[in-house]
Chain A
């Protein structure tokens, strides 16, 4: 298995533009998580899905953020419109279970200028 695949690895965009981050979880994993990592706030859980259904989105910072999982092998995190304070590394992770251990992707480094 290739692990959790995220794309793009780096994204630079101008303030106000729409940004879409993509994630392919490990086949067979029922849970998918989106995290954001910054120097100031550390690792934050934004949202997680179970069997493609969003379960907990309490970490999504505001309405500009949205996440979808149309099928078991693909998820997106969209920011519209983007702002400089959204600059961070965004990680996707997947797992068989909720509390047993997660496999992380390599992350997308987002820079909003």
Chain B
């Protein structure tokens, strides 16, 4: 069965510094990959997704993630974070070939330090 590992439960970073949130999934022939963001007291919102094509995907608020098949990774990056990026970030994966449900990681809480 598919699984997702988010190695860091919390990541503190200073405002305007770069950040990387790590995500690894168990190997599969073909997958869909997602990053969701949950702001305080809100539901999860889709931040970006990889379905096919270019391995680098971007969101409208400056985040990007790169699908690395050989490393089975889908790390999320932002070159300069803002206080409004404070949230919990969930990596998720589904097995495209099996048309299986999405499996979510345990989440990484991003703390922006002033």
- Determine which residue in A4, A33, A56, A100 has the highest number of CB atoms from chain B within 10 A of its CB, and name it: A100
> Does B34 touch A at the CB level, under 8 Å?
yes
Which residues of A have CB within 8 Å of B46? 101-103
CB 8 Å contact bits of B66-110 with A (1 = contact, 0 = none): 000000000000000000000000100011100111101011000
A43-B90, A105-B43, A106-B43 given as contacts; is B101 within 8 A of A100 (CB)? Answer: no
The distance in angstroms between the C-alpha atoms of A113 and B14, with both chains bound, is: 39
Q: How far is the CA of A46 from the CA of B16 in the complex (A)?
A: 39
CA distance A107 to B44 in the complex (A): 9
Check: B54 CB closer than 8 A to any chain A CB: no
| Chain A interface bracket (under 10, 10 to 19, 20 to 34, 35 or more) | 20 to 34
A106 and B42 within 8 A (CB):
yes
Contact with B along A71-113 (1 / 0, CB 8 A): 0000000000000000000010100011111111111000000
Nearest CB in chain A: distance from B2 CB, A: 10
A109, chain B: closest CB distance, angstroms = 8
Given A42-B106, A42-B107, A43-B107, A99 contacting B100 (CB threshold 8 A): yes
Interface contact B101-A56, CB-CB below 8 Å: yes
Whole-angstrom CA separation of A8 from B85 in the bound complex:
27
Closest B residue to A9 using CB positions:
B41
Q: Indicate if A53 sits at the interface (CB-CB under 8 A).
A: no
Encode contact with A along B20-49: 1 for CB under 8 Å, 0 otherwise.
Answer: 000000000000101010000011111001
What are 30 A-B interface contacts by the 8 Å CB criterion? A4-B43, A42-B104, A42-B107, A43-B44, A43-B90, A43-B104, A43-B107, A48-B101, A91-B43, A91-B44, A97-B99, A98-B94, A98-B99, A98-B100, A98-B101, A99-B32, A99-B99, A100-B32, A101-B32, A101-B34, A101-B46, A101-B102, A102-B44, A103-B46, A104-B43, A104-B44, A105-B43, A106-B43, A107-B42, A107-B43
Identify the B interface with A (CB < 8 A). Answer: 32, 34, 36, 42-46, 49, 51, 90, 94-96, 99-102, 104, 106-107
